[in-house]
Structure formats: C-alpha cells, structure tokens
Amino acid sequence: MAKFEIYTDKRGEFRFRLKASNGQAILASEGYKAKSGCTNGIESVRKNSQKDSNYERLQSKNGKPYFNLKASNGQVIGTSEMYESTSGMENGIASVKKNAPNAEISE
C-alpha cells in the first residue's frame, strides 16, 4: 500500500514523501517549520492530486522530465523525481493520482 512518510531533514524541517506500494518515492514536499504544516501539505496533495491541470510538466537543465503538483492557489506542494522519459513522468503522475487519496501516513 502507498504511504506518505513524514521525516525531519538536516535543517530540522518537516517533509513528506509519497511512496508507491513498491517503495519508490513518487512525490516529495518542501520543508515545513511545523509538523502541522507538513500534514496540511499531505491533505493538499490528496485534494489536488486528482485534477490534471494541477500538474506542471517540466524539464530539468539536463533534459530530464519531471513534474510539480500545485495547489489551486498555484503554490507547489510536491515535486517528482527526474525521469528518463516523458512516458515515465506521465506514469509518475498517474501513480500520484492513484495512490495519494488513500495513502496512509507513517512517521
């Protein structure tokens, strides 16, 4: 089963990763000062992950595709890994859409 993992980074900020059932990270958050901000970010991913227009499809400087998931106000709430192909990126988006709404939270 997919899950959101909450963890603390080196700067002491709270972050989350959405991991697919195979353990692969498919979306990562920014840092939050408070844990409540992090859990609000997870709820925002759940809410906003179903609308395709909330996904910003991008290309890194080295040409690898990746995506950002944005809230309705335009704020980035999660960023994917870099993919080898556009089809891989689209599979990543499909995985977020499938897994985010019902993923459990682990700390």
- pLDDT per residue, tens digit, the chain (107 aa), is 899 999 999 999 999 999 998 999 999 999 999 999 999 999 999 999 999 999 999 999 999 999 999 998 999 999 999 999 999 999 999 999 999 999 999 99
pLDDT value of position 57: 98
pLDDT digits (tens, 9 = 90+) for 16-45: 999 998 999 999 999 999 999 999 999 999
pLDDT value of position 93: 97
Name the average pLDDT for the chain: 96
Domains within the chain, CATH numbers bracketed: 3-106 (2.30.29.80)
pLDDT value of position 62: 94
Q: How far apart (Å, rounded) are the C-alpha atoms in residues 89 and 5?
A: 21
DSSP string for 28-82: E---BSSHHHHHHHHHHHHHHTT-GGGEEEEE-TTS-EEEEEE-TTS-EEEE---
